[in-house]
């Protein structure tokens, strides 16, 4: 059974940093691209970032480019999102999502339960 | 960038009704279109990909069609468990290829 478990969310002040983690199990992690997708309270879904199976291809939404960094550790079956210079508009539930293929295609066949990030003073 | 729109933004229908949701891309996207279902308080779930291919385990009352710029999601006979927000999504190479529509909220009348 595929499981994606996010952690690292919390309350943080504007301008500060936070690092999210996603622990994956139930599939061959290094065969698939992985993504972060977020959902602000009461709002729709927004793709944040994606990384290919070998970290060779990485993409970011314009809204986070230059502030967020995605990475993965295939030896630990883990995905990360380093979030710097956080803003109030980054407040959201952050989902870890598995891609259906090795490349950054953006078709999400499994999702974690999400970790909540609240940016507020 | 390609924008995705959906209509209606919300709808209310009776159990057993046929429900159709429309998604439109601002430019042609071939068939790189997926539909997700998000029930209240739950995680999004992939329903359909490649515009018309049903994800494994999804009930057959769900179907998708379209290509290019215009797509539809149809629920042939609405059930109480179908109450959810439905999102269309353009995919295939990110960035900037991943874009979600704004969602369509489906309720039971």
Structure confidence at residue A27 (pLDDT): 97
Put simply, the answer to whether B45 touches A111 (Cβ < 8 Å) is: yes
Distance CA B106, CA B11 (A): 5
Position B68 confidence tier, pLDDT thresholds 50, 70, 90? very high
Cβ pair A8, A25 in contact under 8 A: no
C-alpha closest to that of A97 among A33, A20, A9, A19: A33
- Residue A81's φ and ψ, nearest 5 degrees, are -140, 110
Question: Collapsing DSSP states into helix, strand and coil, what is residue B70?
Answer: strand
Distance CA A31, CA A39 (A): 26
Residue range A103-114, pLDDT digits in tens: 999 999 999 999
Put simply, the answer to whether A107 touches B99 (Cβ < 8 Å) is: no
Structure confidence at residue A108 (pLDDT): 97
Position B56 confidence tier, pLDDT thresholds 50, 70, 90? very high
Say which DSSP state B72 is in: E
Residue range A2-59, pLDDT digits in tens: 999 999 999 999 999 999 999 999 999 999 999 999 999 999 999 999 999 999 999 9
Put simply, the answer to whether B36 touches A45 (Cβ < 8 Å) is: yes
Closest CB to B95 among A37, A44, A60: A60
Q: Which residues of A touch B (CB under 8 A)?
A: 35, 37, 44-47, 50, 59-62, 95, 100, 103-109, 111-114
Position B6 confidence tier, pLDDT thresholds 50, 70, 90? very high
Closest CB to A114 among B43, B95, B97: B43
A114 contacts on B by Cβ (under 8 Å): 43
Torsion of CA A13, A58, B86, B57, to 10 degrees: -120
- Residue A79's φ and ψ, nearest 5 degrees, are -120, 145
């Amino acid at each position: 059974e595929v499981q994606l478990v996010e952690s690292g969310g919390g309350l943080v002040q504007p301008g500060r940093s936070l690092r999210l983690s996603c622990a994956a199990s139930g599939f061959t992690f290094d065969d698939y691209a992985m993504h972060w997708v977020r959902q602000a309270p009461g709002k729709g879904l927004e793709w944040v970032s994606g990384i290919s199976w070998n970290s060779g291809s990485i993409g970011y939404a314009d809204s986070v480019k230059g502030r967020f960094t995605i990475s993965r550790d295939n030896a630990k079956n883990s995905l990360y999102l380093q979030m710097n210079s956080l803003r109030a508009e980054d407040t959201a539930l952050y989902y870890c999502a598995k891609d259906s293929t090795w490349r950054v295609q953006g078709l999400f066949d499994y999702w974690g339960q999400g970790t909540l990030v609240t940016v507020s003073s | 960038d390609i924008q995705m729109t959906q209509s209606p933004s919300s709808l209310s229908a009776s159990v057993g009704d046929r429900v159709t949701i429309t998604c439109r891309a601002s430019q042609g996207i071939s068939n790189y279109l997926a539909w997700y279902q998000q029930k209240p308080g739950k995680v999004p779930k992939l329903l359909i990909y490649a515009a018309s291919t049903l994800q494994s385990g999804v009930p057959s009352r769900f179907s998708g069609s379209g290509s290019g710029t215009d797509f539809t999601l149809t629920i042939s006979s609405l059930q109480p468990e179908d109450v959810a927000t439905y999102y269309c999504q353009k995919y295939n190479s990110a960035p900037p290829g991943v874009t979600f529509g704004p969602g369509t909220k489906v309720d039971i009348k």
